[in-house]
Amino acid sequence: MIKRTNDKTIKEAVEQLLNVYKLRRKFDETSLIAAWPEMMGKAIASRTTQMYIRERRMFIRVDSSVVKNELVMIRSQILDKMNERAGKKVLDEIVFL
């Protein structure tokens, strides 16, 4: 197969599309929200009732005060893990509600 100079892989094309239409940040944020159950496990995910991101801050509503207190204590590790997952700094802060 001959690759012409303007040929792109699907990944390259999607990356370019996200950047051109300024959808990259929203895509990264949505990916982090979708990855929450996998990253934190079923027990914590089942106690999470609402998640959203505004202005680089992730807001997470937790329906258990015990789980919420545990998460607050490891907030910085969670933040680092989320940004590492995204491959760049997407979040500045996590707020537990």
Q: What is the pTM of this model?
A: 0.78
Q: How many structural domains comprise the chain?
A: 1
pLDDT in tens, the chain (97 residues): 565 667 888 888 888 887 787 788 888 899 999 999 999 999 999 999 999 999 999 999 999 999 999 999 999 999 999 999 999 999 999 999 9
d(CA 66, CA 70): 6
- Is there a domain that residue 13 lies in? no
- Is there a domain that residue 73 lies in? yes
Domain containing 55 equals: 25-96
- Is there a domain that residue 46 lies in? yes
- Is there a domain that residue 18 lies in? no
CATH of the domain at 83: 3.30.70
d(CA 23, CA 17): 8
